Amino acid sequence: MNESYNTIKVTREDGFATVMLNRPKEMNAISREMQLELIDCFNRMEDDNGVRAVIITGGDYIFSAGMDLKELNTLTRKDDDGRYITSMIKYLQQIYTFKRPVIAAVSGIALGGGFNLVTVCDLIIASETAIFGHPELKFGLNPLFDPLSRFVGTAKAKEITMLGEPIGAREALRIGLVNKVLPPERFMEEAKTMAGELANRPTRAIEAVKKLSDIVHRLDKKTALEHEFEITALLFTLKESKEHMRKFIDDLKERKKNSLPYSS
């Protein structure tokens, strides 16, 4: 993986990678260059078996103020607009459809395009300083609706996108937008702990859960259950699953012998 980028920083730990937005002077505004670098980065990680989970963050103080409006204002020709929109779609799709878990670790503001980036992730860890918002409608643009509605439901997503009011971390937790809220000094630690745990889970099973979460809600109940158990039957046959089951049983026996409580 090319880890020498201009607008993002990529670091590797055991089993997972952290991608940090790195335009601090521009409040991590998402430029075309950043979009292209995120596309390249996630494309490379897709084929890297050493990366079994990913964290996206903006660092301790700000996630992202949104799209780079200065750059947007320079687009005057239709072909420029078309290429820009295409890159916006592609970079979000690259993350939204990434086959392994993606965690957004958010501190400070995540507005507009920055909020879009958060909602294409699978899990969201927020600092107590986090503020989410979609102000786009106020100046004539539409925010992404589908990713947001999968977290908070249709009615709440309409409220958030149409009114554009900011949402603090505690309110975000209450409405189901984020998974956990931590003090500023602990939110990245929690994100890394979660990424490490996911990296140690059976890879194919995690990928299956991601796929099922996209599919089953569109099916009727009978078909949904059938589809889920088809995946279960397939996973039962995999060497990886058998090894994890064997390890689970051995660990359970060892803990029982030593009278220790079991912890996964």
124 with 231, same domain: the answer is no
Point out the domain boundary residue: 162, 179, 199: 199
Q: Does residue 2 lie in a domain region?
A: no
Strand partners, 133: 111
The three-class DSSP label of residue 261 is coil
The model's pTM: 0.85
Predicted pLDDT at 142? 87
Judge contact between 126 and 63, C-beta under 8 A: no
98 with 167, same domain: the answer is yes
192 with 207, same domain: the answer is no
**C-alpha to C-alpha distance for 98 and 121, rounded to whole angstroms:** 9
Q: Does residue 1 lie in a domain region?
A: no
Q: For residue 44, give the CATH number of its domain.
A: 3.90.226.10
pLDDT tens for 8-61 read 999 999 999 999 999 999 999 999 999 999 999 999 999 899 999 999 999 999
**C-alpha to C-alpha distance for 86 and 82, rounded to whole angstroms:** 6
191 with 219, same domain: the answer is no
Q: Does residue 248 lie in a domain region?
A: yes
172 with 123, same domain: the answer is yes
**C-alpha to C-alpha distance for 31 and 34, rounded to whole angstroms:** 5
Q: What positions carry a catalytic annotation?
A: 136
- Please give the full DSSP string across 108-130, using - where no structure is assigned: SEEETHHHHHHHTSSEEEEETT-
The DSSP output letter for 185 is T
Predicted pLDDT at 244? 57
Predicted pLDDT at 69? 81
211 with 162, same domain: the answer is no
Q: Is 246 exposed, middle or buried (0-12, 13-18, 19+ CB in 10 A)?
A: exposed
Q: From 37, 29, 28, 39, select the one nearest 91 (Cα to Cα).
A: 39
Q: Does residue 235 lie in a domain region?
A: yes
Range of the domain at 51: 8-199
pLDDT tens for 175-189 read 999 999 999 999 999
Judge contact between 191 and 57, C-beta under 8 A: yes
- Residue spans of the chain under pLDDT 70: 1-3, 75-82, 227, 231-232, 234-257, 259-264
State the total domains in the chain. 2
φ, ψ for residue 204 (rounded to 5)? -65, -35
In sequence order, the 6+-apart residues with CB closer than 8 A to the CB of 144 are 92, 116, 119, 120
Residue 256 CB coordination number (10 Å): 10
**Scanning the structure block, which residue is given the tokens 């931590």?**
182
Q: Does residue 92 lie in a domain region?
A: yes
Q: Does residue 14 lie in a domain region?
A: yes
Judge contact between 29 and 68, C-beta under 8 A: yes
Structure tokens at 233: 């039957």
In sequence order, the 6+-apart residues with CB closer than 8 A to the CB of 150 are 119
12 with 107, same domain: the answer is yes
**C-alpha to C-alpha distance for 56 and 83, rounded to whole angstroms:** 24
Q: Walk across the sheet containing 109-111 and list its strands.
A: 109-111, 131-133, 167-168
41 with 169, same domain: the answer is yes
Predicted pLDDT at 84? 76
